[in-house]
Amino acid sequence: MEEKNIITALKKLKQESKKRNFEQKIDAIFILKDLDLKKPDQQVDFFAALHYPTGKKIKVAAFTGLELHPEAEKVCDKAITQTDFAKYQADKKMAKKLAREYDFFIAQANIMTQVAATFGKVLGPKGKMPNPKAGCVVPPKAALKPLYDKLQTMVKMQAKTQLAISTMVGNEKQDEKEVVDNIKTLYSQLIHHLPSEQDNVKGVYLKFTMGKPVKIE
């Protein structure tokens, strides 16, 4: 994917967009082909690390035992101690609200069984269970600030049921170079997770929150 083609698509996107009363996000949509998603080895499921934030504040919650709780309270947007799990198990609305409000969940490794039992049915279907692939299952005495900062520029790339992946790469007021870099970085990481690399990509599109997709030629 050539940088000049991304820039051209971004300019076209901005030219064709109507002025809105809010800051629109920019999504990249990757359309895939020649994959049999019924086969696990042809599904896409990984976390991509970007060089720049997407403009969205990533909210992180932590499930902790007593050992990790002080660190989580200091670093994360919400810290839920093991002793509070019973409240969430008794009130499913609380658990669902938690799943809506937070983007990533960190868990202390030695209480993962209790985390799964309490929150699995709510977080699992949303793909938000604490994931070792994202570094979100941590030791009891972990330093969380580096992980929290890393999650601010991490996005999930997943295609398990349909041949398309849509993810935020920036916003309309963000520096163009950052948005372009995020798109290139995503594309580069995606093709290395596909069996035939770029031959499995049918097309890449950019889209504002309110607007029609523009293809990157």
214-215 and 201-208 strand pairing: antiparallel
**Under CATH, to which class is 60-151 assigned?**
alpha beta
Domain ranges of the chain: 3-9+22-55+153-215, 60-151
- The model's pTM is 0.86
Give pLDDT, residue 205.
97
Structure tokens at 106: 């960190």
pLDDT tier, 34 (very low <50, low <70, confident <90, very high otherwise): very high
pLDDT tens digit sequence for 67-111? 999 999 999 999 999 999 999 998 889 999 999 999 999 999 999
Distance in angstroms (rounded) separating the CA atoms of residues 110 and 114: 9
Answer with the residue of higher pLDDT: 23 or 86.
86
**Under CATH, to which class is 3-9+22-55+153-215 assigned?**
alpha beta
Give pLDDT, residue 178.
96
